[in-house]
Amino acid sequence: MTYPRTLQFSSWFSTVVITEPQDLQAIYRLRYRVYCEERGFLTAENYPDNAECDAYDAHSVHFAAFDQDGKVAAAIRLVCPGQEGGLPYQQHCPLFDEVALPPATAAGEVSRLVLNQGYRTPPGGGGTGTVVMAVYRAMYRYSREHGIRYWYAAMERPLLRMLARIGVTFERIGPEVDYCGPVAPYLLDLEALDYRLARCNPGFLQWLSSTP
């Protein structure tokens, strides 16, 4: 398989690890608009303050891409490993019998990817992949710096295909279920990803690993 040798990622977004309460609230409000109002995956009446959050948010690291006006264009969270009660996918997704799972202390879950409707095709080109990869890049750097080697994710097929086009290929570990849409559970080994990208798409690996 051949992957793009270079990627043109717009400077139109700035991407950060979220630490300010007001930024977290902006993410929760965006999640409410997308998951409750636009997609209908979650029941709006369960979130009377128009902000979607759950018990896992307190044990997650949040990442967001902001546009030049300071608005959230996209956000994602990494539920940290070793949490009491496990990771979100374990509550919703059965696994194939033969799956061998990595150590729990080295694996987090990627979840609640959300994309602002107004920025799904940003000015100047780049499209959805630009802003999605911006938040994935921040999450990748955090994971590598904090000893998180494995990512779980419950993903829909369009996102899986978009990531696969640039060499980010997850291993499917369970059947498809209805969990905020039709998703299946997947697992990614970041060390294996680095090795694969070094051979197939070194330009992307350099961008992924470099300081923004």
Q: Which domains does the chain have, with CATH numbers?
A: 14-209 (3.40.630.30)
- The predicted-structure confidence for 7-51, as pLDDT tens digits, reads as follows 444 445 678 899 999 999 999 999 999 999 999 999 999 999 999
State in Å, rounded, how far the first CA of the chain is from the last one. Answer: 28
At which residue do the structure tokens 């956000």 appear?
75
- The predicted-structure confidence for 82-115, as pLDDT tens digits, reads as follows 777 789 999 999 999 999 999 999 999 999 999 9
For residue 102, the 8-state DSSP code is P
Please give the model's pTM, rounded to 2 decimal places: 0.89
Rg (CA), the chain: 17
Q: What angle do CA 73, 2, 203 make, to 5 degrees?
A: 55
